[in-house]
Amino acid sequence: MKSSTAVLAAGIALSCLGGQAQAAGPLEYSVDESYSIQARAQTSTSASGAVTYTVDENYTVQASSNFVTSVGGTFSGSAVNNLIGANRFYNAGYTGGGTIASNIEAGHVWGTGAGHTSLTHVTQYVDAGLGGQNGDFDRHATWVGQAIGGRPAGDNVASGIATGTDLRSGAIATSWTGSPYSLGFSINATSFYTPFASGVTGFGTADVINSSWGFTDPEGDSFFTVQIDGLANANPNSTMVFSAGNAGPTANTVGGAGSGYNSITVGALANDGSDNYDQMAAFSSRGPQDYDDPSQSVSPGVRAPVDIAAPGDTLTLAFYGGTTGGNTGGTASAGNSLYSPFVAGTSFAAPTTAGAIALMHDAANVATGSASGSALPSAAHDTRVIKATLLNAADKVRQNDGSAWDNGQADVAGVVTTTQSLDFESGAGGLNMDATFDQYLTGETDIVGISGGTSAFGHGWDFASVTGGAGNSTDIVLSSTFEAGTDFTATLTWFRDRSSIDAFNASDNAFADLDLQIWDSTFTTLLAESISDFNSVEHLHIELDVEGALGLRIVHDEMRFGVQNDVSFGLAWAGTLIPEPGTGMLIGLVATACFVRRRRVA
């Protein structure tokens, strides 16, 4: 989008239509400066089958920001904040305060005192200091930054999702490629690693990190993807969010590093022209996606790579009109309160989700509205809990062609079964922060210990572990009575064991295959199971045939590759309990679509 058509002297609060301001072991990669992202890395393999990736400071890769344009809309539209239900958090006093959100992009968010009026609070920047274009202010990063945490600039129309967060900026590009206003850029190992490992913007410091860019890596096994998964694995309280990409409607198009396993990968919902975001955008990248690990050749079309979807179409966002970053070679547009209309892409669905996660971290720190009335346990900050909670509360949105959400559930010998886990386009569905508030705060907030147990809540989450070894399991009994004919949803998330060693070394160590099962409370009758082989998420959304208490069982099925170890996981569930006599109230969450031991039909 060129500056001549991309600016409006008005403001907005991230609004649509304008508006409101191997039984093998670890894999080690080794490449030299001539390695390209399309090539297979040189590798060294340990006695256990471990493979380590190694690169040097000259290693580079071509990447691009995820962005497309759409049509329609003025500044009279609805605020996305309200459309996703974020006002539920605002009304409870949670705006992201006390959290750190980093936007790590090709270039920097245009902030500081001279920057965009909605982003002057952004004062902390990290890049590798390589000179040239490394560390440039950039148009795309500025759009994305406002979506996460822009603040009103006197007109109350520039609010991002988490206005209270400490928004910080990291830049990874060494140069931009192509014509002025290009979204393509180059990175190398040093420029990439520096902001992600920094004590200012990186893992271990930031509560949430957003990156709205990607590169070709359908199998999720490139060096940079393994690096990100390794950093996320070592720093589980820093939640990583990636945009899925804009290569839809073709399958197998989610790019790295969003094609990895330990982040949250976000697709885009389309605006129907009336501010309804209940259907996937055609451009949003999707599965089924390929799988690869050190023990086998590529398995084509077996993964569900998208986790969740959020509004990513017909948005208006803060404009940077300078001639650095992707604007290099273009014409300067003066003014620090200009906005770009009609912006679209998964690039903006991701920061919407990242801002929502900042709200969750804020609530976990305070949580006066929680079931306990106090701050949540430390496990509430774990990415596996955050991810399970967000996915479990998502709305079941339509696919791009109008067909219903579909994770492949079907009746197999009387048991609702999926080997797919998630919908290939939308993952668990559309972001719903109203339902997330209840899912995260007002029910079970971590059963004591890490070995399962019992909960009387109809909704909530748990952080626990399953012992390594095929057939081992962890059980949770939901002891209250769930109502027949109502929906019950459960989500399980865990990590692929990857390690980031330093800027030039990373390893792919092991990957456990876990299953999620729903039983009656005595674990006599199996009701449903999610048994996908190649994902790090299992998800079920069913209608209960009879009333009663339930049991959730997490099964360690097998190792896809690597040494067998215990596996930590996040688990979330939501259903409707039988009202207690005299109250006339339903306790729990009500989902939006149902299954009765049959595959969903449109």
- 402 and 326 assigned to the same domain: no
* Segment 556-572, tens digit of pLDDT: 999 999 999 999 999 99
- Assigned domain for 192 exists: yes
- Assigned domain for 376 exists: no
Q: Which two tokens stand for residue 550?
A: 């339930």
Residue 128 has φ and ψ, to the nearest 5°, of -80, -5
- Assigned domain for 33 exists: no
- 409 and 355 assigned to the same domain: no
- 190 and 250 assigned to the same domain: yes
- 119 and 227 assigned to the same domain: yes
Q: How many residues does the chain have?
A: 602
CB count in 10 Å sphere of residue 571 = 28
Residue 90 is given by DSSP the state: H
Distance CA 293, CA 234 (A): 20
- 243 and 348 assigned to the same domain: yes
Q: Residues near 546 by Cβ (< 8 Å), separated by ≥ 6?
A: 484
Output the pLDDT for position 580.
Answer: 73
Distance CA 224, CA 260 (A): 10
Output the pLDDT for position 587.
Answer: 36
- 310 and 426 assigned to the same domain: no
Domain boundary among 317, 338, 362: 362
Q: Residues near 400 by Cβ (< 8 Å), separated by ≥ 6?
A: 248, 249, 270, 279, 280, 281, 282, 284, 425
- Assigned domain for 49 exists: no
- 119 and 221 assigned to the same domain: yes
Output the pLDDT for position 16.
Answer: 25
Q: What is the CATH number of the domain that holds 281?
A: 3.40.50.200
Q: What is the CATH number of the domain that holds 405?
A: 2.60.120.380
- 323 and 423 assigned to the same domain: no
Domain boundary among 362, 388, 418: 362
Is-contact 575 482, C-beta < 8 A? yes
Output the pLDDT for position 109.
Answer: 98
Distances (CA, A) of 76 to 53, 158, 313: 50, 13, 15
Q: Which amino acid is at 195?
A: P
Is-contact 550 558, C-beta < 8 A? no
- Assigned domain for 36 exists: no
Domain boundary among 362, 388, 416: 362
- 161 and 285 assigned to the same domain: yes
Low-confidence ranges of the chain (pLDDT < 70): 1-76, 154-158, 367-374, 581-602
Output the pLDDT for position 26.
Answer: 53
Distance CA 39, CA 31 (A): 10
**Cis peptide, bond prior to residue 180, ω within 30 of zero:** no
- 569 and 431 assigned to the same domain: yes
Distance CA 567, CA 413 (A): 29
Best CA proximity match to 495, nearest among 504, 508, 476, 482: 508
Is-contact 238 203, C-beta < 8 A? yes
- 72 and 202 assigned to the same domain: yes
Distances (CA, A) of 166 to 13, 52, 200, 211: 17, 35, 11, 16
- Assigned domain for 175 exists: yes
- Assigned domain for 601 exists: no
Output the pLDDT for position 598.
Answer: 31
Do β-strands 459-466 and 444-445 pair in parallel, antiparallel, or remain unpaired?
A: parallel
- 282 and 153 assigned to the same domain: yes
Q: Please give the tally of structural domains in the chain.
A: 2
Structural domain of 358 = 3-22+58-362
Distance CA 422, CA 409 (A): 10
- Assigned domain for 52 exists: no
